[in-house]
Amino acid sequence: MKALALYSGGLDSILAIKIVEEQNVEVIPVHFYTGFAGKIEERFIEEAEREYGIKGVKIVDIREDFLKILKEPKFGYGKNLNPCIDCKILFFRKTKQLMEKYGASFVITGEVLGQRPMTQNKNTLFLIEKESSLKGLILRPLSAKLLPPTIPEEKGWVERNKLYSISGRGRKEQMKLAKKFVLKSIPTPAGGCLLTDPNFSKRLKILMEKLKEYSWEEIELVKLGRMFEINNCILLIARDEKEKKVFINSSSPVFDEKNVTVGCIIGNPEGKEKEIAGIILRYSKIKGKVFIKNKWINADPLPPEIVHSKLVGAKL
């Protein structure tokens, strides 16, 4: 018997795999990279094996599909720009497609009833199952005894009495299980989705408003730099050499007089070039001219209070 597991790298997903493996089921861990959450680096796979004994993690890059749901989520956003319900449905739809490839009969997740208000209440769990056409085939080993029996339990592929009845946000039961399965280390709580960050969501929302059509290229840019909102465009100013290197490859970098890339522009700066140059010069050690969209602009640094009034998300 084979099962696919949604593996986030967090403790709950590790335990869910261990519980089912103990019942002689071969588990294939799948990890989704959305561009805002998840890992894409090879060392993530190595770490899973070394630290938690989770072998053969398959990383699946779903950025393009994720972007579609981000632009128009059927079930809306959470507190910030996180389309959690649509995101989970996408994860399960993708997993369903992979089931045939790997010869798996059901799916496992580390979801815990009541742990996350938006996606881990009973109604939403059932809605997600229905929308992803996996009704009865998603086993949640940590909370299974609090939920109706699934097909794998009914058919005897796994024994229900060896599953758990954990609920809520506490970690006590999970820590006991981590001990039972002798994990070398405990991962820090899973999460880290950039879309749940209010500051980043604010930046992304501005990008969405300014550009009707945007792609991963622009999204990757608004993850970086100091961001300023100026009419129809966004100005990003690099905070270090690494950011400068990214901005130099963007479609609209801005340079100072020494030909050093200091930032980049997204959108149309027409008519606002002087203002943009004034902001750049406030942060630049070199005073004078700035190269913006094919022309040199002479300007004086703008007063700090004006610069700060255009700044988005002061902490970034």
- Residue 82 in contact with ligand SF4, rule: CB under 6 A: yes
Residue among 11, 177, 195, 236 that touches ligand SF4 (CB under 6 A): 195
User: Rounded to an integer, what distance in angstroms lies between the CA atom of residue 309 and that of residue 312?
Assistant: 8
CB of 132 to ligand SF4, least distance (A): 13
User: Rounded to an integer, what distance in angstroms lies between the CA atom of residue 290 and that of residue 260?
Assistant: 10
CB of 315 to ligand SF4, least distance (A): 20
User: Which range in 191-199, 210-218, 239-247, 305-313 contacts ligand SF4 by CB under 6 A?
Assistant: 191-199
Using alpha carbons, list the distances in angstroms from residue 71 to 33, 37, 48, 309: 17, 16, 32, 28
Sequence-separated (6 or more) residues with CB below 8 Å from residue 147: 113, 122, 125, 140
Residue among 37, 104, 137, 281 that touches ligand SF4 (CB under 6 A): 37
CB of 182 to ligand SF4, least distance (A): 28
Using alpha carbons, list the distances in angstroms from residue 272 to 205, 267, 268: 21, 12, 9
Q: Residue 137: helix, strand or coil by DSSP?
A: coil
- Residue 193 in contact with ligand SF4, rule: CB under 6 A: yes
Which of 101, 107, 104 shows the shortest CA–CA distance to 89?
Answer: 107
Residue among 18, 39, 88, 210 that touches ligand SF4 (CB under 6 A): 88
Total binding residues toward ligand SF4, as defined by CB under 6 A: 10
**CB-based contact 128:136 (threshold 8 Å):** no
- Residue 83 in contact with ligand SF4, rule: CB under 6 A: yes
Question: In terms of CB distance, is 77 or 283 closer to ligand SF4?
Answer: 77
- Residue 98 in contact with ligand SF4, rule: CB under 6 A: no
DSSP H stretches of helix in the chain? 11-21, 42-52, 63-71, 84-102, 122-131, 151-154, 172-180, 198-210, 216-222, 241-248, 273-283, 304-310
- Residue 84 in contact with ligand SF4, rule: CB under 6 A: yes
Question: In terms of CB distance, is 196 or 199 closer to ligand SF4?
Answer: 196
Question: In terms of CB distance, is 204 or 254 closer to ligand SF4?
Answer: 204
Q: For residue 237, count other CB atoms closer than 10 A to its CB.
A: 23
User: Which range in 168-176, 192-200, 205-213, 280-288 contacts ligand SF4 by CB under 6 A?
Assistant: 192-200
**CB-based contact 257:270 (threshold 8 Å):** no
CB of 135 to ligand SF4, least distance (A): 20
Residue 75 gets which letter from DSSP? T
Tokens 């998840």 label which residue?
A: 38
CB of 296 to ligand SF4, least distance (A): 43
CB of 69 to ligand SF4, least distance (A): 9
User: Which range in 78-86, 129-137, 149-157, 230-238 contacts ligand SF4 by CB under 6 A?
Assistant: 78-86
User: Which range in 42-50, 152-160, 189-197, 241-249 contacts ligand SF4 by CB under 6 A?
Assistant: 189-197
**CB-based contact 297:267 (threshold 8 Å):** no
User: Which range in 52-60, 76-84, 131-139, 306-314 contacts ligand SF4 by CB under 6 A?
Assistant: 76-84
User: Rounded to an integer, what distance in angstroms lies between the CA atom of residue 254 and that of residue 236?
Assistant: 9
Is the alpha carbon torsion for 3, 9, 13, 15 positive or negative?
A: positive
- Residue 87 in contact with ligand SF4, rule: CB under 6 A: yes
Question: In terms of CB distance, is 196 or 232 closer to ligand SF4?
Answer: 196
Q: Which positions lie near ligand SF4, rule CB under 6 A?
A: 34, 37, 82-84, 87-88, 193, 195-196
